């Protein structure tokens, strides 16, 4: 990985870009806009179940669209370094694909990217188990996951049988971990060779990018360099504080910065909250302001509300300020950015929720 270009800035900024809703508010675009004022852009949690879209004009004035799932947003800017930190769940196939495809748009990408050797890997078996669990829950109980294997990979992680990036250096340990996972998830033992072959295809690339992200980030911060930390999903999907059980299995609130990067969260002086001017959701679970009429359809169409990762139509509704106030109290944002206001331009009336009425009129 390249060294950080140039001396540290006169004033250091540590910035976290988070969400006030379920996600999909525009964190990737905001991270991209802030990245030129930082020397490092980092992802600290989630996995390739996240989908971040950046739209910009190139030097020729042409509109360009970049979509990333694992790479931190903002790497299109030259000389900025990118980090996939220890709290991220890494699908090696997605990583390889993004390095190959986005590398065409991002000069010297491989030389500017560090992947934590402590980050856990999402294996094909995790995706298989994710899909199986959703089927077994049935339509009425399904969480509505992206089926990217994030939940089962986190189960492996907390059960201490997870496969980390650094394990790719030790073939014997790697096989043992894969076999442990197959037994735990009640999958055929013969599947081990297939899992290992999949890992072997991506081993060299992943290890060429691997290193100690905790040491790197702390050294950069101690030297006075600026870092923008990109969140994934939103607080309503947080495993600790969200609408359980309709949550992701990763932390999504501000506390994920410390656990997912190894940085002291108290050093983060800018907490930027992204708030979409209306509400959307992918997956199942409660959605107080959802509009199931033609107005909801209009929001979906005008806002192009289709999942970056899954392509699924997002559920649409009106801005929930009760929800937003709760998110502010949880994450203590220092500033809020309202996005997609222009989507509402064609509506004669828009809805905003300012309070709830409990069953029974309370």
Please identify which of the residues 19, 24, 238, 291 carries the catalytic annotation: 24
Q: Are 309 and 268 in contact (CB under 8 A)?
A: no
Q: Which residue from 184, 181, 179 is spatially nearest to 162, judged by alpha carbons?
A: 181
Please identify which of the residues 19, 32, 52, 126 carries the catalytic annotation: 52
**What is the C-alpha separation between 78 and 248, in angstroms, rounded?**
33
Fold equal for 14-119+210-353 and 120-207: no
pLDDT at 282: 84
* Superfamily for domain range 14-119+210-353: Adenylosuccinate Synthetase, subunit A, domain 1 (3.40.440.10)
Domain edges within the chain: 14-119+210-353, 120-207
What is the percent of the chain with per-residue pLDDT over 70, rounded to a whole number? 98
**What is the C-alpha separation between 338 and 85, in angstroms, rounded?**
28
Q: Are 85 and 262 in contact (CB under 8 A)?
A: yes
pLDDT at 140: 63
pLDDT at 262: 98
Residues of the chain predicted below pLDDT 70: 140-141, 308-310, 361-362
CATH number for region 120-207: 1.10.300.10
Active site residue 52: yes
pLDDT digits (tens, 9 = 90+) for 206-246: 999 999 999 999 999 999 999 999 999 999 999 999 999 99
**What is the C-alpha separation between 59 and 293, in angstroms, rounded?**
42
């Amino acid at each position: 990985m390249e060294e950080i270009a140039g001396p540290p800035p006169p004033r250091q900024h540590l910035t976290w870009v988070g969400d006030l809703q379920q996600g999909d508010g525009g964190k990737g675009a905001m991270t991209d806009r802030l990245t030129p004022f930082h020397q490092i852009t980092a992802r600290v949690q989630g996995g390739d179940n996240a989908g971040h879209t950046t739209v910009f004009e190139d030097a020729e004035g042409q509109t360009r669209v970049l979509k990333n799932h694992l790479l931190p947003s903002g790497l299109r800017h030259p000389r900025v370094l990118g980090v996939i930190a220890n709290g991220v769940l890494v699908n090696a196939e997605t990583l390889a694909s993004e390095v190959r495809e986005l590398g065409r748009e991002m000069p010297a990408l491989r030389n500017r990217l560090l992947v934590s050797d402590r980050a856990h890997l999402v294996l094909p078996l995790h995706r298989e188990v994710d899909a199986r669990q959703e089927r077994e829950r049935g339509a009425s109980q399904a969480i509505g996951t992206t089926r990217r294997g994030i939940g089962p990979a986190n189960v492996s992680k907390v059960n201490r049988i997870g496969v980390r990036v650094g394990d790719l250096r030790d073939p014997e340990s790697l096989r043992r971990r894969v076999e442990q996972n197959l037994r735990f998830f009640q999958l055929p033992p013969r599947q081990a060779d297939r899992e290992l072959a999949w890992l072997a295809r991506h081993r060299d690339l992943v290890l060429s990018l691997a290193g100690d992200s905790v040491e790197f980030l702390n050294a950069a911060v101690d030297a006075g360099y600026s870092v923008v930390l990109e969140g994934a999903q939103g607080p309503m999907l947080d495993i600790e504080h969200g609408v359980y059980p309709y949550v992701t299995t990763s932390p999504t609130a501000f506390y994920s910065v410390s656990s997912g990067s190894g940085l002291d969260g108290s050093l983060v002086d800018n907490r930027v909250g992204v708030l979409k001017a209306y509400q959307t959701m992918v997956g199942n679970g409660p959605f107080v302001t959802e509009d199931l009429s033609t107005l909801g359809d209009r929001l979906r169409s005008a806002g192009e509300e289709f999942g970056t990762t899954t392509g699924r139509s997002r559920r649409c509704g009106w801005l929930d300020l009760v929800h937003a106030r709760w998110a502010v109290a949880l994450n203590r944002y220092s500033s809020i950015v309202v996005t997609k206001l222009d989507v509402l331009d064609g509506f004669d009336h828009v809805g905003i929720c300012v309070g709830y009425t409990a069953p029974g009129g309370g």
